[in-house]
Amino acid sequence: MRVENIEYTLNGTTHIGTLAVDESRSGRRPAVLVCHEGPGITDVTRDKAKRLAEAGYVAFALDYHGGAAVMNGLQETIARLGPLMQDPDATRALGRAGLNVLLAQPETDPSKVAAIGYCFGGTMVLELARAGEDLKAVVGFHSGLATTRPDDAKNVKGKVLVCIGTEDPLIPADQRTAFEHEMRTAGVDWRMNLYGGAAHSFTNPQAALVGVPGIAYHAPTDARSWAAMIDLFDEVFGSH
């Protein structure tokens, strides 16, 4: 397993992402862009990339804050993400910069690329799909579903999966309904998995450290949502 940090720049800011590749395999293979949760790229995110590499994918965990920074608490995270939530162009540019790093890897098969994201990282991969990036699959885990440009869903080229906890206060039922309408109107091949008893950040074993009600790890949903992602990848990529 080769795991290395890669620096890249966007608008003068240096970003530091993590690439994971299983070097025991040869040739090009499907590749997955991994977009971290709102606070920043952490070992939790890097572990997701390593796990994907172990499963036979090239995986690159991007850094959308820059400098591999991790926000200090919820208020700093909200202050950072607030403007991005209203600026899909900036969000897409951050995602595209990471995607370009993934596509530049010699092991990447550019015809077999997916993107997954957690929390705002899930919002980011959905915006990449709305921007028309050539992604065969897009998966959002406890991802924000809202967008200021729902009409752009007509540009989605791949299949979409979002995994949402029913007890997530950040993604209420009306946001799920609006997303359903957006996907249906655009004719997207999409699916939404709802997990009972799961709150926000259900994939992060350290979620409870935030100390905020409605943000908590949920091991059964973590396992089930990962299996749903792999099932979608098997569908779009086949054996590899």
Which structural domain, as residue segments, surrounds residue 150?
2-237
Cα separation, 14 vs 17, in Å, equals 10
- The pLDDT value recorded for residue 145 is 97
The Cα 218–Cα 201 span in angstroms is 8
Q: Which of 64-78, 149-163, 186-200 has the lowest mean pLDDT?
A: 64-78
Which residues of the chain form beta strands (DSSP E)? Answer: 2-10, 13-21, 29-35, 58-61, 108-118, 137-141, 159-165, 190-195
pLDDT value at 239 more than 80: no
Q: Residue 223: how many CA atoms within 13 Å on its side-chain side? A: 2
Nearest alpha carbon to residue 141 among 114, 122, 154, 127: 122
**C-alpha to C-alpha distance for 51 and 86, rounded to whole angstroms:** 32
How many structural domains comprise the chain? Answer: 1
Q: In the prediction, which pLDDT does 74 show?
A: 79
The pLDDT confidence band at residue 217, using thresholds 50, 70 and 90, is very high
Residue 189 pLDDT > 90: yes
List the structure tokens of 177.
Answer: 């309904």
For the stretch 79-88, pLDDT in tens is 888 899 999 9
State how far the Cα of 77 lies from the Cα of 61, in Å rounded to an integer: 19
Crossing angle between the packed helical segments 74-85 and 120-130, to the nearest 10 degrees: 10
| CATH code assigned at 31 | 3.40.50.1820
Model confidence, pTM: 0.97
Token pair belonging to 102: 């993934």
| Mean pLDDT across 217-227 | 98
The arithmetic mean of pLDDT across residues 206-230, rounded, is 95
pLDDT at residue 80, as a whole number: 87
Residue 161 near residue 134 (C-beta atoms within 8 A): no
- % the chain with pLDDT above 70: 99
Share of the chain above pLDDT 90, in %: 90
Contact 176, 15 (CB under 8 A): no
